[in-house]
Amino acid sequence: MKSLKDVKAQLLANPAVRQAYDAQAPEFELARELIAARMKAGLTQGDVAARMGTTQSVVARIESGRGTPSMRTVQRFANAVGARAVVRMEPLTAA
């Protein structure tokens, strides 16, 4: 049986799959930041949802990386975990 790491490597060897995966990088990075902030605050998704005035399933969707939450939603999430959302621009690096 192949490990998840092996399957991922095999899939990413396909240039079309790699391109689609790389295009999702900003969403995945945002999701990792949100999850890390929630964990650092010692909160569950339910706790964050209550503070945001929404449901746990909405917080799970925000954290999934499968969509792009609005800046307002990111700010509400940040406030719920006792953090501040910051946007910055960085130069593109040559691949």
- 95 pLDDT higher than 70: no
Give CB contacts under 8 A, 24+ apart, made by 49-56: 51/79, 51/80, 51/81, 52/76, 52/77, 52/80
Q: Is the pLDDT of residue 69 over 80?
A: yes
What is the domain count for the chain?
Answer: 1
The answer to whether position 8 is within a domain reads: no
State residue 84's pLDDT score: 96
Residue 2 placed within a domain: no
What is the tens place of the pLDDT at every residue in 20-40? Answer: 988 888 889 999 999 999 999
The pLDDT value recorded for residue 67 is: 80
Q: What CATH code is carried by the domain that includes residue 40?
A: 1.10.260.40
Domain ranges, residue 72: 14-80
Q: What is the mean pLDDT of residues 58-80?
A: 94
User: Of the ranges 8-17, 20-29, 77-86, which one carries the lowest mean pLDDT score?
Assistant: 20-29
